[in-house]
Amino acid sequence: MIFSRLILHPYHHCSQLTRIFYKMYSQSTKIMDKAFINGLWVSAKSNKVFEVQDPATCQVISTVPDMNVDDVEAAVTYADEAFQTWKVTTGKERSILLRKWYDLLVQNQEELAKILTMEAGKPIKESLGEIVYGNAFVEWFAEEAKRMYGEIVPSPVKNRELMVLRQPIGTVGLITPWNFPFAMITRKAGAAIAAGCTCVIKPAEDTPFTALALAELASLAGIPKGVINIVTSSRSNADQIGKYLCESPKVAGISFTGSTAVGKLLYQQCGKHVKRIGLELGGNAPFIIFESADLNKAVDGAIASKFRNCGQTCISANRFLIQDSIFEEFVQKFAERIKSSLIIGDGKNVQFNLGPLINADQVKKVEDIMQDAIKKGVNVVTGGNRATNVGEQFFEPTLLTNITSNMRCYKEEIFGPVAVCIKFKTEAECIDIANDTERGLAGYFYSNDISQIWRVAKNLEVGMVGVNEGLISHAETPFGGIKESGIGREGSKHGLDEYTYLKYVCFGNL
């Protein structure tokens, strides 16, 4: 196997039983404990490291370098040097290398899924789904590299020819989240590399090993040194690194997926150099069920949309808006399905399909939102508590009714396995509730009224709409939001736009 080159490092502070378990689970799953800069595996210049925990067991998996601005500056310098030759490669040359990377990713998808489950806590089946989804972006952009078309513009003057070229913007900083540590890198890096850019990637501190495995396979695929660089850091250095990437004149653009608060800060910092920026930020997705809907299909979609990755996705359904005539029936069906189909546990075991929250901070946030709702009179249909019998960072799948507008769960992105059910009477009322938020990433609704489908799809203030469908993401389609949910689009043919600029060329006196 390709991963035979990687090194399995000891797990610190684990019990003997845990060490045995990890050894059994990780027989073919090897992890790197170094950062990847200019084609080499390196430590931080300070030699500092930080620990990465398995969220299911709260045990330390291993350590990685705790890099700071000095390390990132070196990575940017190497990426800038690599860009001088990478930018003049042909689209076909880049396509061939991306395809080789894709082939290696597919060959190693089971090992990659194990790494992802170990550090992100996702059930193994769900992790494999993310790997397949993430691989699709590398495959897609391998093809799009050959289709970075320009334009010939009909000239209004007889002796002139007008041309528009698309060219790579330069070295880009990619800052990725912990909830999709694989797909968020391939979606960004695949597009950047296809366009002719080089990358400095800062993965989330909770999930660096997936990023490092991606870099190893990219290197084996023959992608030149300096084109992909991975810098790891703890949370304490993340702010400084983000600021440096935004302000360095050698970095032409930033792509960030994460919280709205951090995205706003990066947007402000990029203003110093009027730098290209792409932001995919938080959501507050409505999930609307109209009385004409097929309730069984709506429940299927609700389970998929709300509880994937334990509710920790930016496009998770956050507010269930249910027409009053079917409210009780839907809530009953939804509660029954939650109880019968969701099994909490360590996702390394295939029998479990609902994993832990990523860290203690996320557990506290979900608990605080729950306590606020309880104090204000919410009705807990099912769940509502931490599942401490399973592990410290597990939370019961929860269904709430009797929601009022002064509750935090009514307005905030929960990012946990808590479904909030709100009753409405009319289509106009539900649209008002759905749009009453500063976020606008995704929205979902179920209806069998074709006129209503067109009206609601147009009137929802979001960048993406799922109609009678709870899972909507594909490599072939543009991903992104409006309002405070971000700027730009990832994936699809539009994914290259973030990493290219248009150059107009006028040929005169012909």
Catalytic residue numbers, as ranges: 280, 314
Cβ atoms of 79 and 199 closer than 8 Å = yes
Which residue in 430, 422, 425 sits closest to 459, CA to CA?
A: 430
Tell me phi and psi for residue 83, to 5 degrees: -60, -30
Tokens in use for 54? 């398995």
CB neighbours of residue 271 within 10 Å: 12
Tokens in use for 505? 């060329």
The SS3 assignment for 317 reads strand
Helices 295-307 and 327-341: angle between axes, nearest 10 degrees: 50
Distance CA 286, CA 445 (A): 8
Residue 187, H or E segment: helix 183-195
Residues 6+ apart with CB under 8 A from 256: 174, 175, 242, 262, 263, 266, 277, 278, 279, 280
Cβ atoms of 383 and 396 closer than 8 Å = yes
Residues 6+ apart with CB under 8 A from 375: none
Through-space distance between the first and last CA atoms of the chain, rounded to whole angstroms: 59
Tokens in use for 36? 């990847």
